[in-house]
Amino acid sequence: METALDQPIANSSAQVAVDAEALASLELALRELWRLGQNIFLCWRLAENGIHALLVPHYYLGNFSASLSDYAPVDRLDVLNGQFIRKLIASTRLMNDADFFSTARRLGLEPVHIPTSACLGVDADAIAAVEELITRHSISYVESRAVLLLDIVDFSLFTPFEQTSQLNSLSYSLNSAYSKLQKIGIEVAFARTTTGDGFYVWNRTQTARANQDLFLFMLLVIADNAIARRKARGNIVPLMRTAFHIGSHFEFYQVEGTNPTLYSYIVGDVTIELARMLEIANPGQILIGDFTAKVPTSAREEAFMIDVDSQHFVQRIGKLLEQLKGLDLSGELIESMHCQLTGETGASAGQSVRRFRITDKHGRSRWAYNLRLNIHTSGGRRPLILGIQGYYLPKPEGQRGRNRTIEVGGPRRQTFQPRLLSDE
């Protein structure tokens, strides 16, 4: 779908002032039509003295709920309509005249004219502002995005003060990782939603390197948390379980008073997979989902994109870790960092990555990998080794041996018996 504008015009101070007035009146009009989430906006086009928009009741997408899923068998026409709706809410909402009215006819909708008190203008900033307003009053679909789930172990067993301290500590680790990456030119515009005992975290930007940047972000969050836990007294720093996965999700904005919030919430296949993975994860474990993702072949903006699986994704991350050298971790500088998916050493001394099947309480299965992270810092201290060793994981079928218990150090030393996963 093409946009209606090909030639943005230059800004002027007068134009900016007019746009601000027009945007304010447009937001009031959208809010009235939105009706606290009763309706959602699908798309829009510029019109004389305002915009034209297509809006539907929030339950309208329920007509396509089966076809919006990748799993449910449905009628062929429903599949096509579902694919069309999913593409519609996954792309830019601004349409040219032909696409806009074609969409209205296909869906049987009547365009609504929304007037503004002043001319909106056609400069890029004004268009982006209208696009943001339309998106906030709608539901969006993201086909592929990396999401991180950080889960605090035994959160419900702590006192309210300890719970508050642990969530605050984890929030600091997120902010610290963001600041460190920003200093080396990596901008992770991270968003988060709470799960009660942790956070879902994702990168708002959808650049070619956004998923890789979030993985680097995750590594620094885990490292900062581990160092803080090593130095802390009492139960103010959480013991973590972590999972990283790439997949699809829907995004929406909840009502806050009479307005949609400025912060989005996500739910979809990727969040479901993450939650199921961490249901069986051990304390301190870092799980990586089984996915296929697009990655750039180089650091250039025009880099060619290729599809890679989880193993190759982590291998490519390993080549990026040199960028983190010299970053400060609680007064110590990173000298080197290495991450790898754990595996088994064969008779020829070769290492093969192991993949595990995770079956949830509903009987659904997915594959996952176990990640280890080694960090060497200045000051002569021993390396920081994070994640659980492959030694503690279940033995492949046909091999004998018992899994050792896992001792986790810190203010409250705990011993855990690893939960069993099915081997591939």
Assess contact for 341 and 330: CB atoms under 8 A. no
Using pLDDT thresholds of 50, 70 and 90, give the confidence band for residue 239.
very high
pLDDT in tens, 143-190: 999 999 999 999 999 999 999 999 999 999 999 999 999 999 999 999
Assess contact for 219 and 374: CB atoms under 8 A. no
Cα separation, 392 vs 390, whole angstroms: 5
Q: Which of 121, 128, 144, 103 is nearest to 50 (CA)?
A: 121
Q: Which domains does the chain have, with CATH numbers?
A: 13-137 (no CATH), 143-423 (3.30.70.1230)
Cα separation, 172 vs 362, whole angstroms: 35
Using pLDDT thresholds of 50, 70 and 90, give the confidence band for residue 128.
confident
Beta-ladder partners of 371: 341
Cα separation, 8 vs 403, whole angstroms: 64
Assess contact for 85 and 64: CB atoms under 8 A. yes
Predicted local distance difference test score (pLDDT) of residue 377 = 86
Q: What is the mean pLDDT of residues 131-144?
A: 90
Give how far Cα 273 sits from Cα of 133, 149, 191, 205, 306, Å. Answer: 30, 10, 19, 22, 24
CA 179 to chain centre: 18
Predicted local distance difference test score (pLDDT) of residue 8 = 34
Using pLDDT thresholds of 50, 70 and 90, give the confidence band for residue 249.
very high
Assess contact for 85 and 68: CB atoms under 8 A. yes
Using pLDDT thresholds of 50, 70 and 90, give the confidence band for residue 71.
low
Structure tokens belonging to residue 42:
């699908």
267 CB-near residues (< 8 Å, 6+ apart): 249, 250, 252
Least confident range of 36-40, 43-47, 318-322, 404-408: 404-408
Cα separation, 297 vs 313, whole angstroms: 12
Q: Report percent pLDDT > 70 for the chain.
A: 78
Q: Is the dihedral of CA 300, 306, 310, 315 positive or negative?
A: negative
On the question of pLDDT at 410 being above 80, the answer is: no
Predicted local distance difference test score (pLDDT) of residue 340 = 92
Mean pLDDT value across the chain: 81
Phi-psi region of 57 (alpha: psi -120 to 50; beta: other; left: phi over 0): beta
Predicted local distance difference test score (pLDDT) of residue 54 = 95
Backbone phi, then psi, for 336, in 5-degree steps?
Answer: -160, 155
Q: Residue 243 corresponds to which amino acid?
A: A
Q: What is the mean pLDDT of residues 57-66?
A: 75
Cα separation, 384 vs 182, whole angstroms: 23
Q: Is the dihedral of CA 2, 8, 13, 15 positive or negative?
A: negative
On the question of pLDDT at 416 being above 60, the answer is: no
On the question of pLDDT at 141 being above 70, the answer is: yes
3-state helix/strand/coil string of 248-274: EEEEECCEECCEECCCCEEECHHHHHH
Using pLDDT thresholds of 50, 70 and 90, give the confidence band for residue 62.
confident
Q: Report percent pLDDT > 90 for the chain.
A: 45
Q: What is the mean pLDDT of residues 319-338?
A: 90
Give how far Cα 124 sits from Cα of 10, 49, 114, 118, 262, Å. Answer: 9, 18, 20, 17, 21
Q: Which of 319, 323, 317, 266 is nearest to 293 (CA)?
A: 317
Q: 337: part of which helix (H) or strand (E)?
A: strand 332-341
Q: Residue 43 corresponds to which amino acid?
A: C
